[in-house]
Structure 1
Amino acid sequence: MKFLARPPRYLFFTGKGGVGKTSIACAAAIHLADAGHRVLLVSTDPASNVGQVFGLAIGNRIVPIAAVPGLSALEIDPQAAAQAYRDRIVGPVRGVLPEAVVRGIEEQLSGACTTEIAAFDEFTALLTDSAETAAFDHIVFDTAPTGHTIRLLQLPGAWSGFLESGSGNASCLGPLAGLEKQRTQYKAAVEALADPGRTRLILVARAQAATLREVARTHEELAGIGLAHQHLVINGVLPASLVEDDPLALAIVERERAALAAIPLKLRDLPRDSLPLKAFNLVGLPALRAFFGAGSAGAGQAEQGGEPPLAAPALADLAERIAVDGHGLVMLMGKGGVGKTTLAAALAVELASRGLPVHLTTSDPAAHLEETLSGAIENLTVSRIDPHAETERYRQQVLASKGAALDEAGRALLEEDLRSPCTEEIAVFQAFSRVIREAGNKFVVMDTAPTGHTLLLLDATGAYHREVARQMAPGLHYSTPMMQLQDPARTKVLLVTLAETTPVLEAASLQADLRRAGIEPWAWIINNSVAAAQPRSALLKLRARNEWVEIAAVADRHARRYALVPLQKREPVGLAGLRALCHPDRGNA
């Protein structure tokens, strides 16, 4: 395995939910410990299941893994870290500054930026050779800091003025408040990340075109800020030898071969490893120690017992209920790589096929709606919000208005503020607000950006709503985008996930965040379900059986209503392929 050859001290595993980065990070940590190294495994994943993998409680402290000599683990809780971070910043000024100013500071610290910065704050010490970690030869991180977080920390300007002014415009400077004392330590941490002698970034992906596009974007973003020493791991590749007499398995093998043959150019020169799909759940030491083996042990277990009855709603059932309204905003949200773009296109095509006017749009920089549709249909229009163009438009607008009255120093600080990554989110929000006005007389189906970006967009929505409410005279009628998102009669939010542990946990976390913003998700969509596709091969049958635990969790605990979309034999591209997602009997044979 190239990614474990001559490993540096720090190994970071990063990738979208459901690609297997936690399993690979745990297996890598065990592999290094078994080779005689002293290893600390650290999770910064909000949906961390490292403790579940090892079968013991870990939490926010270093815990030795007794069954693996030399291995210890630590789970950083980003939400708890964010709350502690907020308390540390707001506590000293509560009762000192006016209450309105304190509320403004708390608002600035309520978003996803703060959670990212707080998590980085927690593991900074782990990257700067603290006494706490001096005894370890290697530190293995499950989930790396995002390029978004690192760009925030690289902003060079005066952060400390935020508390005195109680403002920060609508950018990231709020979460950066009060960090002046840590800047030296943060700089050392970012330098450690960029040093190939100390750090290796391992990008984890699946052999799927959409997932590979996502990881290519991650690679480019991280390389662009100096984190260029990267390896690529393609996880879960179905071995051709295990196809048996299964048309679905054969179709998966052929599709994965095609995806790898067309791998994005940005990824082709990276050192690459490929790990075969396993039939067993990657929980417990025996499974983790077997993970890097060549076999697929456990496939035979699929023959034991009968198959659970399949009685889950289909995507067509959701489309039928949406169509009754005649118009409205339909937003698909979820982590990258779960199939939001394809499902948004499928719903748009289904609604347009019923004679309803539909505008399909995306704010996801990685979306490829035209390629997904690959054709035109009556009643359907398609657009894309270009983040780069919208950001430049917003920058010029702010510089021309707020910047006009500033002196040279003030304008320089404003320009720095506008270079922060959150500026893009605010700019996209403005374009998003223009589009959703159309939902009063047609369907607007929106494929949103990945979850972290979406939450930042919604933070901007909330701030805009509160500002309008403050400025309006009592008794006057007004409407804001946030009010539309909160109104179930006007907006239906659909959360997209996979029937796997991490994607379901991540979707549940997103649902909790949306509820805190007063937005109640209307339905969940479980995409690419092997169980719903009724496979024949022993390996896929066992994986199908494992899915039912997660499907039951969605149906019984998380969702008010849901739909199950089977894994397709053919790539769901083009109008026929998209229609097959709503009506599998028409195109999945």
Structure 2
Amino acid sequence: MHAAFRFLDNPPSFMFFTGKGGVGKTSLACAHAVLLADQGRRVLLVSTDPASNVGQVFKVAIGNSVTAIPTVPGLSALEIDPQAAAQLYRDKIVGPVRGVLPDAVVKSIEEQLSGACTTEIAAFDEFTALLTDPQMLRDYDHIVFDTAPTGHTIRLLQLPGAWDDFLEEGKGDASCLGPLAGLEKQRDRYHAAVAALADPARTRLILVARAQGATLREAARTHDELTAIGLTQQYLVINGVLPERESALDALAAAVVQREQQAIANLPSALKALPLDQIPLMPFNLVGVDALRLLLQSDTGDAAAIVPAIPAIATPPLSDLIDEIAENGHGLIMLMGKGGVGKTTLATAVAVALAERGHAVHLTTSDPAAHLEETLSGSLALLTVSRIDPHAETERYRKEVMDTKGKKLDAAGRALLEEDLRSPCTEEIAVFQAFSRAIREAGRKFVVMDTAPTGHTLLLLDATGAYHREVTRQMADTQLHFTTPMMQLQDPVQTMVLIVTLAETTPVLEAAGLQSDLRRAGIEPWAWIINNSLSAAYPRSSLLRQRAMNERAHIAAVATQYAHRYAVVPFLAADPVGVIRLEQLTRPIL
């Protein structure tokens, strides 16, 4: 018997699960897809997240082609792989003109299509096909989307309108997208995608959040932004709520229950009118079909099985890493990892700790969904805070180009240049320039960067690598000394990459995958941080103890298989917001 969760009622053809990274979108999307398939529906589960882990959840290699899930009849899955999609997109654009146009022109088109922006557009191209392909709609009763973290999703969902506007104007050289004709052919499909997204009879959007003020405020912002672009059929799901029964005889659990219930009682006004469901926290990891089926059951049982006291283990504290970082006196500290593992909190804590040791620190973020000011909740001497705002950086870049290149053009030339700078790809270039400025600043002070969730960060690093290759090629015949951003990222004296994870199956596997990607780019991670560890907090609640015991194997794997050095940060009863609570994260464990 399954729970009468409102978001499950009369599901339409398309369901989108979205929200801040780490709130459980993938688990809920997978569980919902399994439930529909168990009811005899034909279901396609699609991940549009560059850092997808749907395959890990089902223990099946999926990838960029529709793959049947053997353990769930009627369910198939697809992971839109941005790199594979980009290659298919490039082949589609370049193939027809190869051998027709001069080789130099073909090479120029290929170079235009080599950037990170093209990767995003290619993923969007596949995304719109799923919404509009008649054959897909005949083959499947439902398509369930596990979307990328919020900032990236908003951009993806806005693209149908953005590219439609761009095509309507019909000017410019389409920048890194290649020939404009390649997009003109998609006009009808883009219109159909916009119509499907805006039709409440066909599309439902499930906002997933945790019972935390920050993620609920993020959900409210997402609600407003999606409503503004016509997606009005929205439901709110608060995931991973600790049952009140667990608070008996456990101060930590009692504090969590009180904090979560207060957050739910104080829902942002934008969310109060939405249908609301609460999903209880489970004592087990949501990996495998059996675990997914339990997630949406109406009766998850009474309190978890009685678990005895957890034996102590010796794990290095974050303060040890801070002490070693501080010895350098300056440098770039980049915190990377899957969305929702606590990068923003830990980046802020590291910045605060370095400033309190007397170092000048610049704390910045490239994450479109990050809120450093909310986490810091105050000011500190020697610490400055900034955010790489895509809109502000794009305007800055446009002005710079018009003031330099545009200065020498006539009126007609300036008009053409302005049109080209309205290409949606301009934003990617502008954000990369801001990223490069932050890297240069690290030569004289500490720059602590809270990066975007993994997939988006890798796209940014890909842009850095492309820039590095271009500069190296141009400078090869000169005697001038030069340093590109990628060279600095690859220099372990200048840059320390801290991989943040949780002691759970999927986050650790995701972090290991990130480490492999970084190594392929010539960047060696300096340390790992295991955040929010219940094992290090020694709870008394049976449910929390069960989750804590599950952590031990993952902590051991990080210590012995993955990390040169690592630290474990215990789960705190109170949200680590404000300087005083942030300091608790970087104090030696007594």
Asked if 1:356 is matched to 2:359, the reply is: yes
Deviations along 1:234-276, one digit per CA (max 9) or x if unpaired, are 1101011122322221121122223334444443333221111
Shift of 1:219: 3.4
Structure 1 unpaired stretches of 5+ = none
Task: Identify the residue that residue 146 of structure 1 maps to in structure 2.
Answer: 153
Report SS of the residue matched to 1:540.
helix
Alpha-carbon separation, structure 1, partners of 2:63 and 2:302: 30
Q: Structure 2 residue aligned with 1:118, among 118, 122, 131? A: 122
CA contact (8 A) 1:20 1:204 kept: yes
Deviation at 1:492, TM superposition (A): 1.2
Residue 322 of structure 1 aligns to which amino acid in structure 2? I
Unaligned runs of 5+ in 2: none
Partners of 2:295 and 2:447 in 1: CA distance: 44
Alignment map for 1:9-408 (pairs within 5 Å): 9-54=13-58, 62=66, 71-78=74-81, 79-91=83-95, 105-106=109-110, 108-143=112-147, 146-153=153-160, 154-156=162-164, 157=166, 169=175, 173-174=177-178, 178-297=182-301, 300-301=304-305, 303=307, 307=310, 310-403=313-406
Distance (Å, rounded) in 2 between the aligned partners of 1:104 and 1:563 = 47
- Aligned counterparts of 1:368 and 1:333: Cα–Cα separation in 2: 16
Secondary structure in 2 matching 1:80:
helix
Distance 2:388 2:542 in 1: 44
SS in 2 for 1:134: helix
Aligned equivalents of 2:71 and 2:394: distance in 1?
52
Residue correspondences, number: 579
Letter in structure 2 aligned against 1:198: R
Assess if the C-alpha contact under 8 Å between 1:111 and 1:455 holds in 2. no
CA distance in 1, matches of 2:142, 2:353: 52
Alignment TM-score, normalising by the size of structure 1: 0.85
1:279, 1:539 within 8 Å by CA — same for their partners in 2?
yes
Q: Percent identity?
A: 68
Structure 1's 211 and 559: CA in aligned 2 closer, same or farther, altered over 3 A?
farther
Kindly indicate whether the alpha-carbon contact (under 8 Å) linking 1:527 and 1:566 is maintained by their aligned counterparts in 2: yes
* Cα deviation digits, residues 28-77 of structure 1 (max 9, x gap): 223334445443333444554445544556555555557656x3212235
Question: What SS class does the counterpart of residue 532 from structure 1 fall into?
Answer: coil
Report the alpha carbon displacement of residue 135 of structure 1 after superposing the two structures with TM.
4.1
Cα distance, 1:180 vs structure 2: 3.6
1:530 Cα offset (Å): 1.9
Q: In structure 1, how many angstroms separate the alpha carbons of the residues matched to 2:137 and 2:565?
A: 46
Q: Secondary structure at the match of 1:533?
A: coil
Deviates more, 1:547-556 or 1:295-304: 295-304
Name the structure 2 match of 1:569: 573
Q: TM-score, normalised by structure 2?
A: 0.85
Per the TM alignment, residue 513 of structure 1 is displaced from its structure 2 partner at its CA by 4.1
Range that drifts further, 509-518 or 572-581 = 509-518
**Partners of 2:358 and 2:321 in 1: CA distance:** 17
State the alpha-carbon separation in 2 of the partners of residues 101 and 311 from structure 1. Answer: 62
Quick one: which amino acid aligns to residue 520 of structure 1? E
Stretch moving more, 215-224 or 201-210: 215-224
Classify 1:12/1:91 alpha carbon distance in 2 versus 1 (closer, same or farther; 3 Å). Answer: same
Cα root mean square deviation, aligned: 3.6
Q: Which amino acid aligns with 1:565?
A: V
Report the AA paired with residue 583 of structure 2. R
> What does residue range 422-437 of structure 1 map to in structure 2 within 5 Å?
422-437=425-440
Q: 1:547 Cα shift?
A: 2.8
Q: 1:438 to 1:301 in 2, by over 3 A?
A: same
Secondary structure of the 1:219 match is helix
Whole-Å separation in 1 of the counterparts to 2:480 and 2:247: 66
Distance in 2 between the 1:123 and 1:53 partners? 22
Structure 1: how far apart are the matches of 2:203 and 2:228?
Answer: 16
Shift of 1:431: 3.4
The one-character-per-residue Cα deviations of 1:125-183 (angstroms, maximum 9, x if unpaired) are 43225224414322222226823234444324469x99xx9x865xx535988344333
Distance 1:444 1:231, change over 3 A: same
The alpha-carbon deviation at position 281 of structure 1 amounts to: 3.1
CA separation of 1:63 and 1:243: change in aligned 2, threshold 3 A: same
